[in-house]
Amino acid sequence: MTVAADFSTNRHSTPIIKQPVTESPPVRHADLCFNDGNVAVLAAEQLFIVHRGLLSRNSDIFRRLLESTDSACDELEGRPVLRLSDRPDYVSYLLRALYDGISFLAYDAEGFPVLAGLLRLLTKYQILRIRGDVLRGLAAIWPTALAQWEAREGNITDAQGLYSPHKVFPHPIDVINLAREIGFHQVLPAAMYDLSRYNPSDTAAGHLSWDGSMSMLTREDLLNVLRGREHASRFFSTFIVNELEGRKPSSWCFRRKDDKSHERRACQIAFEAITFELLRDVNGVISNRPSDPLYAIADAELIQLKDDLVGNDGLSAMKTCEACRAEFSVSVEAVREEFWRKLPTWFGVEVPNWG
């Protein structure tokens, strides 16, 4: 009698044995390999020995990826391997943020590559708490409120009035591209307005990024920036026509009852001189802020407080009386607020609760 072969069990099959990874040996990260770590994270040739619970607690995406390693057959240093397709330096920023917080971040031009790399992975793996903390820091530099923008501008203007943002903040093209990539549109109007103050040819040509590549806007965003620049320029021209050209002195003008006719007209003459000065944009060039309508509108008021242009009578040719300046100040503030509110529309961006 022939005995039938027993195919009902797997006793004749080869047992599954986890094999170590046989690729070229990875390089241990100097700081992010822990002796008690229970998962090996591999990004290219960079090895991180970290804690499974930390990754799972902060990201559901990581949790699901780690569950898939349970049935995998490869190990490194006796630990299951989680392979990531991300850049090793980005992974190191992410793990450092998870273990140590984000105090190592810098929101300036030099620190932007680290900031951008971290935000890309925080967004990809939906680590929302830390992502929110980082984005709040970014939004402080590219704010939605005019008062915050003014504070930003003041912080990078020296005692001589020279404005030097390019030595401090990352290039707005890099900020715009990152904001698009991670879906953080809140910073786009401020960054696009910042970029609109550059020469259009420089905006179109892009700039040399930190990694040696040319960083350029998409065609759509380039058109948005150029259109926004045109809107801002037209708004400034309208401000000059409506608020400065032929402006009459206040009904409370301190000089309106002066005996001499030319002194009665001193405030009106001052407004005419301010108009001429704004059109020449001399102060904008001196302070390194040409093509900055928001600054120029404010300067129309501030120029009245300067004593560097003094006439034969000892008075500044562009200094109005207090009553006329106060009345003009109200107009300037209202115009600047309106200017700021219009930025998202001008640059083709929808931002809830802007301003």
- Hey, where are the domains in the chain? 27-135, 142-155+163-228, 233-308+315-347
Residue 333, pLDDT > 70, answer yes
Name the residue with tokens 């609109």.
196
- pLDDT, one tens digit per residue, over 208-256 is 887 788 999 999 999 999 999 999 999 999 999 999 888 888 888 887 7
Calpha distance 261→118 (Å, rounded): 67
| pLDDT-based confidence at residue 266 (cuts at 50, 70, 90) | confident
Is residue 199 classed as helix, strand or coil in its secondary structure? Answer: coil
* Greatest mean pLDDT among 21-35, 102-116, 265-279: 102-116
Q: What is the pLDDT of residue 158?
A: 77
Which overall architecture, per CATH, does domain 27-135 show? 2-Layer Sandwich (3.30)
- Name the residue among 268, 303, 299, 293 with its Cα closest to residue 343: 293
Q: What is the pLDDT of residue 229?
A: 96
Residue 100, pLDDT > 70, answer yes
Least confident window among 66-70, 71-75, 115-119 = 71-75
Q: For all residues of the chain together, what is the average pLDDT?
A: 87
Mean pLDDT of 151-172: 82
CA dist list (Å): 315 to 28, 246, 307:
72, 21, 8
- pLDDT, one tens digit per residue, over 43-55 is 999 999 999 999 9
| pLDDT-based confidence at residue 154 (cuts at 50, 70, 90) | confident
Calpha distance 115→110 (Å, rounded): 10
